[in-house]
Chains A and B, each alone.
Chain A
Amino acid sequence: MSNAALASNNLIDRTATIVSALGVASASTPASLLQNPHVGKRWRHNASTTWVLADLGALFSIDTVMLAGVAGPNTPAFQVRLSTADSTGAAGDAHNSGLLTGLPYFDGDYEKFIYLLSSPVSARYVRVDFTDASSPATGLYTEAGRWFAGVRNQFTTNFQAGWQNTVVRGSVDVIGVGGQTFVDLRRGHLATQVTFNFVTETERTGFLDDIGVTILNVGHLDMLWLKDPASSNLARDSVWGYIDGDPQLSQQFTFTTLYTLAFTIRQRL
């Protein structure tokens, strides 16, 4: 168990970042959709072995890489390479994850791949390779809908007991005169409610203020919530989403500069 973290400064979304891929299935499935806020709007390549590459334009610290909306007919393997100067991204001189399969990195039920470095490295090129780990494969394709690369900010003191993880049911029910329930099936989503009672001054004026400023000036910010960075299933214990409602930060103890922060992270699909 490790303290929860938020990764909010997405280097993939920087204006200067150029995202490319080994290939695309059609003009409507470009690699640039990995920067589109909708996870459901995906890049696709009709191949089971492929890669995506982000040129950040300059060196940046990175310790967290996530791909959401990862889909394909088979179980993929991944390789994350962070490079300082090789524009193909293949060098991996800053970091090379080697082949990653299954848990804790990827869970097909959540269609999410997460790779966490133990400490940040400096890199300009971020490359994730997909390899079809199973065979035989039919109808080869690889899809991904959202990409995050950046650093995560771990809370000094973890959230309190009483946190809630809600599966929000989207289906619509109609009850007939005969008493039956007719269900109009619709996809659900996740929402996590947490409260931190011991947010430090450094955290308040640091990454939490960065989040607040973005919400203040831009109006919205998508981020990665990591309930437990040491989880055995990172896809399950994380949410790619946004702070739903108004994040409430208040000073609870007059004699120290510690704060209480409560927020809800709502999943983005």
Chain B
Amino acid sequence: MTTPLYAATVPFISRNSDAPANQQFSGTLEATLRVDRSITAGQLGFGGFTESLSELTLINADAEYDDLAVGFSINGQAIVCSLGQLSSDGKTVDPYAQFVRVALLTGERMRVDRSRLTIEMRDPSMHMLVPVQDRVYPGNGSVQTGNIEDGTDNVAGKRRPRAEGTVFNATGALVVPEELVYQISDTYVTFGAVKDGGIPLVFQNDYEDVETMINNAFQVQPGSYATVKELGYFMLGGPNVFQVTCDVSGPRATTGEVLEWAAIRASNTETLNADRVVPDVTLSQGYTVASTTISVSINPNVFSRTGYDSGKYCYRVVIGPVEGTYAFGLANHGKRSGYSGIGMDTTGGHGNSIAVYRQGSPQAGFVTYQGSLTGETGNAFFANSDILVAVDVGARLFWYKTGTGASWNANPSANPATGVGGFNLQFPGTVYAAGLVNGAGTSVRFDFYPDTSTLPSGYSQWGATPKFAIDTATFDGLDNVQPAQIGYYLDEDQSTTFADMFSLLTNGIGGWFGFSPLGRLQVYRFDAPVTSSLYDYDTHGGNIVDIQRASLPSGLDPPPQRWRCKYQRNYTVMTELAGQVTEVDPSFAETLRHESQVASTSDADAAIVIAIWPDAVDTDPIDSFFVSQADAQTEVDRLLALYSQGAYQAYSMTLANAIFVHQIGDVIKVTDTRLGLSGGKYLRVVSLSDDVSSMTTTVVAFG
């Protein structure tokens, strides 16, 4: 049972029109809330993870909260902090609806004593402390039981590998040793090469699933390989001589794209499955819209990330404005995004699905299973149609309607709530939402969180409540400023968490990530401040209470004399190479023998830095994941200009009337008669402390 607590620094009752209405807010909140955030702990320069930590206290002098001392936990509970105003005469509090929410934090611990109830809070970053590779091999796979993709006992309990971006020379997991079947990534991949001791093997064919590939092993000759690219598997045609490695490309390419995928996965937000989509289909930011720019030869499918074995769920499909080939329905996990459209499963694999297509005269929505019409029909749908689909997984029935006034399944007596008039799901097992989109300019949007007021009684949204919100615009922004391709690989022995992954990838591009006080995950690159700002502060009537020069982080004072970045990560450092490689291409052989390549600023640049800072150090290369030398070089040149030319300094200041106004990375303009600020200077915020007790904000800014 959850017991909400409402407290304010001034007691009041919310208005009848507020939500919550007529709620008593006890005047026990002490003005002690302080939220600290900082990016001053990056690997080199500003960056890394900015964590929001805070604590608030409620007065318990008259024992109001004594009952909470036992059997009450605040761990994981949402703490909402809002700022409101008193009326101009000070007698009434403004409507709660006009309050500004300044922080959405998560409760960690609480302590009750004679004086106060103390609540420790933090941002939702705990939800990122889970492994990126959430699926492990059961190790009980066999062709006979149809689950050979689960691997044999040699990989039991190991994590399925994951390739993001363009990955060079990675070693996959040998999931079926007797058949020489490997998995290189638990996602759709494009194989650039499969190599034995550095020698590329010959591609034979791509198959729908691993079982089909194994059944066709006789066609895969020694020296060649076959793939199941949608699932990231490959199979050798004959025993390897040296170590087998792969060059592959995952569905995502840039740091922003990879991190957005990770953010969505960590937040458990329901979306289209970005790991089960052919390259011809583009998914939008947030993975809710699938679109195609051409007519794809094989009708491409998309699927929800979550499937259900029981229960009643709804999802919504909104057809795009361009007419094309569309279908929606349901599928099992074996259904591929390629090979055949949903409802057209005739290729003999494990895929199974049912779909509704528009056809006939007059046109209607025809239910199609294994390429044949079932005889069930609902309303036709067109461009811009808004379709709600209800599925009773336990009863193996589904319904759809094309708008608020339409009948379910074009049948006035049909009703998901009563179980009447449902279309037969036809196939057994786990059910995923599915759709098909094809044709130039076509698109379809999936809403896995349809308005609950529109759902039939007893039905839930397809998606579970996300653990935190994602500021997708910041991922877009990161892509704009840093569009370089990266290569990131996690093998079967890793347990890297999403938090680790974010740290590594943002450090690699001089960026940072963190949660806003409102609990939205954001990601940025640290750049010099731009020369415009909405926020002007000065010491003469401009809300600066105090200002001082501040120290730069230790890694920047003195700055490095040389900036270096790794690129072309070699995920399998090889000691034994085929003779053909060492003899014909010794340069490539050297690449295979080293962990990465390194881009560096020049000796001439280093000499300039040393002339100013004789004690400037020559640091280790930054652990970047760039694919190309050019992108790595661009990055080191950027860092040199940003940090090693003495152009920028750090300042610490206390601001009034700015509480919860700023975010890390904001640019502010600061003017003072001293410290070189007389003409005004644009600074980028690198550290923030919003303190309600003094209603001031302590800022460290760089520029």
Decide whether A and B assemble into one complex: yes
Listed in ascending order, the chain A residues whose CB lies under 8 Å from chain B are 25-26, 28-29, 33, 37-38, 40-42, 44, 46, 71, 108, 111, 139, 141, 143, 172, 174-180, 182, 184-187, 269
Option from A38, A184, A187 in Cβ contact (under 8 Å) with B90 = A187
Q: How many residues on the B side are at the interface (Cβ–Cβ under 8 A)?
A: 35
Q: How far is the CA of A44 from the CA of B22 in the complex (A)?
A: 8
Given the complex, which residues of B lie within 8 Å of A44, measured CB to CB?
A: 13, 22
Is there an interface contact between A176 and B22, defined as CB atoms closer than 8 Å? Answer: no
| Binding stretch for chain A, among B297-305, B314-322, B440-448, B542-550 | B542-550
Given the complex, which residues of B lie within 8 Å of A42, measured CB to CB?
A: 11, 13, 24
Is there an interface contact between B657 and A26, defined as CB atoms closer than 8 Å? Answer: no
Is there an interface contact between B11 and A187, defined as CB atoms closer than 8 Å? Answer: no
Is there an interface contact between A187 and B10, defined as CB atoms closer than 8 Å? Answer: yes
Interface residues of chain A: helix, strand, loop or mixed (majority)? loop
Known A25-B13, A46-B16, A139-B15; contact A178-B544, beta-carbon cutoff 8 A: yes
Option from A33, A71, A182 in Cβ contact (under 8 Å) with B656 = A182
Q: How far is the CA of A33 from the CA of B27 in the complex (A)?
A: 14
Q: How far is the CA of A111 from the CA of B86 in the complex (A)?
A: 15
Is there an interface contact between B91 and A143, defined as CB atoms closer than 8 Å? Answer: no
Is there an interface contact between A177 and B26, defined as CB atoms closer than 8 Å? Answer: no
Is there an interface contact between B541 and A178, defined as CB atoms closer than 8 Å? Answer: yes
Option from B6, B27, B538, B544 in Cβ contact (under 8 Å) with A40 = B27
Given the complex, which residues of B lie within 8 Å of A139, measured CB to CB?
A: 15-17
Chosen A-B contacts, 26 in total, with CB atoms closer than 8 Å, are: A25-B13, A25-B16, A25-B21, A26-B21, A26-B22, A28-B6, A28-B22, A38-B27, A40-B11, A41-B24, A42-B24, A46-B16, A46-B22, A71-B91, A174-B694, A176-B546, A177-B539, A177-B545, A177-B547, A178-B539, A178-B541, A178-B542, A178-B544, A179-B540, A185-B86, A186-B9
Residue on A with the closest CB to B546? A177
- A28, A46, A111: most-surrounded residue (chain B CB, <10 A): A28
Q: How far is the CA of A160 from the CA of B694 in the complex (A)?
A: 40
With A46-B22, A175-B545, A182-B695 known, 8 other A-B pairs at CB within 8 A are A28-B13, A29-B22, A40-B12, A71-B91, A172-B694, A172-B695, A178-B538, A178-B542
Give the tally of cross-chain contacts (CB within 8 A). Answer: 88
Given the complex, which residues of B lie within 8 Å of A180, measured CB to CB?
A: 540-541
Q: How far is the CA of A29 from the CA of B25 in the complex (A)?
A: 10
* Min distance, Cβ A109 to any Cβ of chain B, angstroms: 8
Is there an interface contact between B91 and A41, defined as CB atoms closer than 8 Å? Answer: no
Known A139-B16, A176-B539; contact A29-B24, beta-carbon cutoff 8 A: yes
Known A38-B27, A177-B544; contact A108-B91, beta-carbon cutoff 8 A: yes
Given the complex, which residues of B lie within 8 Å of A38, measured CB to CB?
A: 11, 26-27
Q: How far is the CA of A214 from the CA of B645 in the complex (A)?
A: 74
Digitize B276-314: 1 where CB-to-A-CB distance is under 8 Å, 0 elsewhere: 000000000000000000000000000000000000000
Is there an interface contact between A174 and B656, defined as CB atoms closer than 8 Å? Answer: yes
Q: How far is the CA of A55 from the CA of B270 in the complex (A)?
A: 57
Q: How far is the CA of A40 from the CA of B656 in the complex (A)?
A: 29
Enumerate B1-40 residues with CB–CB distance to A below 8 Å: 6, 9-13, 15-17, 21-24, 26-27
Q: How far is the CA of A187 from the CA of B62 in the complex (A)?
A: 21
Enumerate B531-570 residues with CB–CB distance to A below 8 Å: 538-547
* Min distance, Cβ B197 to any Cβ of chain A, angstroms: 69
Is there an interface contact between A41 and B17, defined as CB atoms closer than 8 Å? Answer: no
Given the complex, which residues of A lie within 8 Å of B696, measured CB to CB?
A: 174, 182
Residue on B with the closest CB to A45? B22
Given the complex, which residues of B lie within 8 Å of A37, measured CB to CB?
A: 62
* Min distance, Cβ A173 to any Cβ of chain B, angstroms: 10
* B634 contacts partner chain A, Cβ-Cβ < 8 Å: no
Q: How far is the CA of A38 from the CA of B90 in the complex (A)?
A: 18
Smallest CB-CB A-B distances: 7 pairs:
A40-B11, A25-B22, A26-B22, A28-B24, A182-B656, A184-B695, A178-B539
Given the complex, which residues of A lie within 8 Å of B17, measured CB to CB?
A: 139
* Min distance, Cβ A24 to any Cβ of chain B, angstroms: 8
* Min distance, Cβ A192 to any Cβ of chain B, angstroms: 21
Is there an interface contact between B539 and A41, defined as CB atoms closer than 8 Å? Answer: no
* B92 contacts partner chain A, Cβ-Cβ < 8 Å: yes
Residue on B with the closest CB to A26? B22
- A111, A141, A180: most-surrounded residue (chain B CB, <10 A): A180
Residue on A with the closest CB to B95? A139
Known A176-B539, A178-B539; contact A111-B91, beta-carbon cutoff 8 A: yes
- B12, B538, B657: most-surrounded residue (chain A CB, <10 A): B12
